[in-house]
Amino acid sequence: MKKILILLLTFVAIHANAQKLERGYAGSVEMGGLTDFDGTFFNLSTTHGFQFDERWFVGGGASLLLNNVQFANFYAAGRCYSTRIKSERWTPYGEVRFGVEFGDIKTQCFFEPSAGVRYTLNNKLALSARLGWYFDGGSGLSFTAGVHF
């Protein structure tokens, strides 16, 4: 499993597109975790969409949450990058995800507001880390690290 994830991230890094926050396609792949009443989950997600300008992104994606219960999520995502609080490489952002969670036991809606920071490596690639709160009937803390391309 670890080898597959490493290969996936390497593939994304090699084939990344323009990383400046410019108008056009943008995507990301993230790994992390989620803790809630059902336990702690490993999370792998991908988000793809349209970057309207250096501040606004709208897209959609899918994630897989794994522990002894498996969930697949399909969601819409909105991201707002700060244009006032940023340096040459660091940019804080807020993100909201909402969608449907399909699981072994139940299907339900979820909502996840989060805040993160993005570190630009070059014109084609950036890294990110974010922390959020996950609501799906219960609630829990989410944390991810990812690659933006």
Query: For tokens 């999520």, what's the residue?
Result: 73
Nearest to 52 by CA among 78, 22, 92, 82: 22
Structure tokens at 61: 């994606």
- Could you report the average pLDDT of every consecutive run of 10 residues in the chain (149 residues)? 45 41 91 87 95 92 87 91 81 94 84 95 93 91 96
Q: How far apart are the first and last CA of the chain?
A: 23
Torsional class of 112: left (φ above 0), alpha (ψ -120 to 50), beta (otherwise): beta
Q: What is the pLDDT of residue 105?
A: 73
Q: What is the pLDDT of residue 20?
A: 57
Identify residue 144 by its one-letter amino acid code: T
What DSSP string runs through 120-141? EEETTEEEEEEEEEEESSSEEE
C-alpha span between 138 and 63 (Å, rounded): 18
Structure tokens at 2: 């670890």
pTM of the complete model: 0.79
